[in-house]
Structure 1
């Protein structure tokens, strides 16, 4: 019994390390929330508080900024896993993309930015399911 607990704890410790050294972008494990009405999504976010200590930001104006690959989003997804969050929220303001992880809370909180800057909300899921899968 004690050995099983030790093995479980070792697995928990190794999993985040494996994600950190990931050779693949982590975005493949996430899907955009299937709601196309920005107002509805934004209002739903009022039941979620930020779990991100420091907001992640990606400025398209910076030299060397590369948004063609998806590795730049990995810190957002790692933060999601580390904070045991519900969603990853992406904001776009003045050509700068911000992301944060949010968790369900009791009561209502004001989202970090106004609704006009909401880019998308993601959760764990299949990003691009195969047409043949059921």
Structure 2
């Protein structure tokens, strides 16, 4: 931080010109000067440097977040592609199972129909 310049002589002269005793003016000047030395003042330059530092940090964080989001998107896309592949495989497997069941039912139905027809033909002879 910055210390603010303080002209003790000018301060004493200003006080004495308004009627303050010179000894009191010097004591007041010393007290004010000492308080300025102990104080930690923020100047516009300090503020600008701090603001610039914060902006830089925020920009770095923003870039890091963008990269993390991008990586997460890639990971999610990879995972979704794997899930899609599994679903397609399951769909094919179920289609084959259903087809074999339906085929079995058709064969059984045709066999039963054939036996029924043979029985009808035998009975009519």
TM-score normalised according to structure 2 size: 0.19
Compare the two structures and name the one with the higher strand fraction: 1
Higher RCO, 1 or 2 (CA under 8 Å, sep at least 6)? 1
Q: Which has the larger radius of gyration?
A: 2
TM-score normalised according to structure 1 size: 0.18
Compare the two structures and name the one with the higher helix fraction: 2
